[in-house]
Structure 1
Amino acid sequence: MDAQRAEAVEVRAALLRMRRSGLLPVAFGGLVTGAGPAGGHGARQFRISELAGTATESLRGLTITTGNGLGGKTLATARPCSVTDYGVSRVISHEYDPAVAAEGLRSVLAVPVVVRRRVRGVLYGALRQPYALGDRPLTVVLDAVRELEQTLAVRDEAQRLLSFCQQPVTSDPRAWEQVREAHSELRALAGRIPDPHLRQELLTACARLASAAVPGAAAESRAARPAPLTARELDVLASVASGATNAAAAARLRLRPETVKSYLRSAMRKLGAHTRLEAVVAARREGLLP
């Protein structure tokens, strides 16, 4: 699944969460195209790509330009905006009235999706009656948007780290420190990625970084063996290898500190190590860590 399709799935999930509240029977929205980790600043437009609860297709594919209509105002200000009766509102322009009227929408709320200070898109919730949308509907949309923002931020970070992994690995000790930090971050991120294809891509990149530290023939022979550590044990050991304390590893992996200690003890036992450092050295010797 490519990044754009995966993002569309996440937007649809956010819209369905909004509708399940029972407060917003119609939900729709979209993201700025190409607004990944290196783009999206000063976005000029986005396209409404996902619909939930609509009766027509009038809104699908509508390109919203900054400053125009409710969504364009939200895009320009990076703040939630709403109108009680879209067609007669005096606080927005009316370039999109035909599409809105075709769907029969009156009260509409728009909330920006903001990731690292960049507006990445807009989600809308709407009613077919001219009722003022109060705090409860706004909270529903904000909760859905925040979850979407977190998902996009994790995906952006994963893509950044994958780009780093594609660079040639050198013998520079300073470069190896970066490699080890990237490996640790990748393993921590993999556990938070719902997309199984992207998660597997991250784990494959982790394996590539780990094997880069082992000579070719030795790496091949080690790759044929069963992994002596579980995924979580390796996650913890990767964080420890990057210099993280147990508390820092727990925060990174979203585990309890006691759980981190348990995984670390188990990893040490399996590797025949008596200290954290011995465990890291043994794991590197096995081609499990870079």
Structure 2
Amino acid sequence: MTPPGRLALTASPLVAGALKALQIATELPVAMGGPVSAASRSHVIDQLRGTATRSLQHVQVDTGAGLGGKAVALARPSTVVDYLSAQGITHKYDHAVAPERLRAMVALPVRVGETTRAVLYAASRESIAFGDRLLHAATAVATRLGRDIEVEEEVQRRLAAPTVVPPAERGDLHAELTAIAGSIADETARQRLLAVCERLRPELDLPGVALTPREVDVLRLVSEGCTNDEISDRLGLLPNTVKSYLKHAMRKLAVSNRVQAVNRARAAGLLR
């Protein structure tokens, strides 16, 4: 059973998507990975890409053992130029690595806050040195996966919460979830969250609220990060006129600041 608040990585598409991204980013033929146990004592390699055998499938790697265990213990990426002859790791898992004839390998801990939640590996059947460019690309994939895990868990927590969301706050919740979906790198997870957002949409009507075209224009530019002066220049309006449109929109939407106005209008379908 997955501990409360922990993403069931084994069944999640997030790791699988990260492995594909890792192969592309590093241009290495083999990628594999899996979740770290709740107590961080081990991780299981449960997903493989580019392997020729199943020798590494379901291998449980203890923290501190092998290359992946070393990466977890140190909380940073670890590499070897030739796995089977490497001096800086234990060789507890040589029996699983040998059938794949893997030599150069990098293991990347996937961190969420101060906790390692998964380990990704990229490997080659040739002996190569890992340069800064390759390590930077690999680390970026692991970082992105950590962020996706964190977002996914937060979404699951919110959706599972028994608290009833007051109608006045549903628009803000919808807008926030939609923004979170936009930050998720994994396409499957993003689409799943957007589908949830769509189920919320029928509850987001604001009866009697209608924004004028100019109010929509102003809020759209606010959502793009424009200041009032920039909005004034882009729309050919006086700064005071921009403030007036924004003030009227905020009053209609029953909010107290411009960020809330954008979120409420977007959630209610008034701002695309």
TM-score normalised by structure 1 residue count: 0.64
Q: Secondary structure at the match of 1:129?
A: coil
Q: 1:92 aligns with which of 89, 92, 102?
A: 89
Number of the residue aligned with 2:164: 168
Q: Does 1:278 align with 2:251?
A: yes
Aligned-pair Cα RMSD in Å: 4.0
Identity %: 35
How many residues align structurally?
233
Query: CA shift at 1:182, angstroms?
Result: 4.0
**Aligned letter for 1:64?**
V
Give the Cα separation in 2 of the matches to 1:169 and 1:52: 42
Give the Cα separation in 2 of the matches to 1:29 and 1:6: 10
Asked if the contact 1:158–1:202 (Cα under 8 Å) also holds between the matched residues in 2, the reply is no
Q: How does 1:50-199 map to 2 (within 5 A)?
A: 50-164=47-161, 166-169=162-165, 182-193=173-184, 194=187, 195=189, 196-199=191-194
TM-score normalised by structure 2 residue count: 0.68
- Closer/same/farther in 2, CA of residues 57 and 90 from structure 1, 3 Å limit: same
Q: Secondary structure at the match of 1:92?
A: coil
Give the Cα separation in 1 of the matches to 2:194 and 2:105: 36
Query: CA shift at 1:183, angstroms?
Result: 4.5
Provide Cα deviations, 1:36-75, integer angstroms capped at 9, x if missing partner. xxxx4x5222211221211111111111221111111111
Query: CA shift at 1:109, angstroms?
Result: 0.8
Number of the residue aligned with 1:257: 226
Asked if the contact 1:46–1:64 (Cα under 8 Å) also holds between the matched residues in 2, the reply is yes
- Closer/same/farther in 2, CA of residues 187 and 133 from structure 1, 3 Å limit: closer
Query: CA shift at 1:27, angstroms?
Result: 1.3
Number of the residue aligned with 2:240: none
Provide Cα deviations, 1:83-109, integer angstroms capped at 9, x if missing partner. 122122221112111010011111111
Q: Secondary structure at the match of 1:60?
A: coil
Provide Cα deviations, 1:133-182, integer angstroms capped at 9, x if missing partner. 22232122112212222222221222232234x313579xxxx77x6754
Give the Cα separation in 2 of the matches to 1:150 and 1:131: 29
Give the Cα separation in 2 of the matches to 1:183 and 1:189: 10
Number of the residue aligned with 1:16: 20
Q: Secondary structure at the match of 2:176?
A: helix
Query: CA shift at 1:16, angstroms?
Result: 2.1
Number of the residue aligned with 1:201: 196
